[in-house]
Structure 1
Amino acid sequence: MGATRTFLEELLAGNQRHVESLPEDYFSEVQTGQHPDTVAICCSDSRVPQEHMWGVDHPGVVFTPSNIGNQVWDDDDGERIVDGGVLYPIHHTDTDVAAVVGHTGCGAVTAAYRAATGGELPGPQGVDKWVEMLVPVVEKAIESDLIDRETDETTVINQLVEYNVDHQAEFLRESADVPDDVDVYGFVYDFQGVYGNEFGRAYLVNVNGETDSGAIAELLPDEFATATQSILY
C-alpha cells in the first residue's frame, strides 16, 4: 500500500497544482453546457495526450473519447454501430468535425496483427473484445497491396495503424448516423519519428476520404505542408 499511497498523494498534489494554475473564469463559459468544435477518437494510451497534442489550453474545445485501437464503432448484438462517445457530441453538442487519431507503435494494432497471423489474443476478455474487432481490419489490410509484409514487423504495424485510421474514418463517413455535413479527418500521432523528425506531430493522413498526401497538402496553408505525410500510399 505504501507505493500506491505515495502515487495517490502525487495525483492529489498534481490536481492541487492544476487547481491553483487555473484562471478564476476558466470554466465560466462551459459550466452549464458544451459545444466542442471536434470529437477526437484516440487510442487508449498514456503516450497520447489528447488535449495537449492540439495545444488546447481551455475546456470545451475537444470532446475526447478513447478506446483500444481508436475504434469508432462498438458491437451491438453482432452489429457494428458508431460508438456513443463519438455520436453524442455530433448529435447533442453541435459538433461538426470528427477526428480519428491513431498513433505509431500501437499495441492494439500489434495484438490484432499477431492474432490475424496465427498468434494468441493478449487477454483478458475486456481487452480481447476490442482486439477481435480490429482483426478483420488487419486481415483486409493484409489482403490488399498496401501493406509490405516483406519488411520488418515494426514497419508493418505502422502501416496497419494508418490503414486502420483510414478504415475507421470510412466507417464514420458511410454511417447513416453521421450527418453528411460532418467533416471526418484522420491523423497518426507520431512520437517515434516514423513519419519525420518532428516528434509529437499529428500527421494528417485523411480528409473526408482523400488519402493522397499531395492532394491534402493543397488544401492547407504552406506552413502545414510537412504535416501531411503518409507511409501507406
Structure 2
Amino acid sequence: MRLGFISAALRRLAVHELRVFAGFGLWITGRRHQVRPSDRAFGYAAPQAATVYGLTFVCVVETVGVSFMVRDWPTVHAALLVFDLYTVLLVLGMQAAAVTRPHVLSVDTLRLRRGAQVDLTIPLAHIISVRKELRFPDGKATPQEVLDLSVGSQTSLTVELTEPVTHVRLLGKRQQVRTVRFHADEAGELVTALRAVVAQGGGLRRGRTGPSRCPGRPG
C-alpha cells in the first residue's frame, strides 16, 4: 500500500512538472490555458513576480559560481550544470504557469487556479457570497473546510459556498471546502463580474457581499 502511494505521488509530481514546463510554450506565444473566448480571465501572479525573478537571478549566479569552482572535474561539472539549469527552468516555470493559468469566470463556473498546482472548479450555483478581504496567512492551520490559495503570502478575495466542493491536493489528498480565500490582481473587477453573473442565476441570496479587510492587518 505504501509503495502504491509513493508511486502515485511520484506520478502526480511528474505530471505537475510537465505542466509547469508546458507553461513556457503558452507564455512565449501569449496564450492562456483553457480560456475560451466567452470566458473572463483574471490574473494573480503579480505578488510573486519579484520573488520569482529574484530567486531566478540567485540561481543563475550560483550556477556560474559553482561551474567555475568545479571546472577541473568535468563529470561533476556536467552533473551540477544540468541540475542547476533544471532548477532555474523550474523556478521560471512556476511564474510561467501562474501567468498562463489564470482564474476563469464562465457563465456557470468559477475556476480558481494557482499555477500548475491548484485547479478548483466551483459551480456558480454554489456561491452564496463573495467579498474583497485582504489577508496575510501566517502559516497556521486553517479550519478543515477553508482553503487558502495565497500568492505572495496574501489573499484578497473570499468566496463562501452553500455546499462543499472537493479540492484535490498535489499528492492526491482530497479536501471538502466551503470557504475559499484566493488572490486576484484585479480583485474589484472579479467581484463585480462574479456578482453580476451569479445574480443572473439567483445566487448570492444571503451573506455578506461588501468589501472587508482582515482585522489588524495592513491594507
User: Higher strand fraction: Structure 1 or Structure 2?
Assistant: 2
TM-score range, shorter chain: under 0.3
Q: TM-score scaled to structure 2, two decimals?
A: 0.26
Q: TM-score scaled to structure 1, two decimals?
A: 0.25
Structure with more contact order per residue of length (Cα contacts < 8 Å, sep ≥ 6): 2
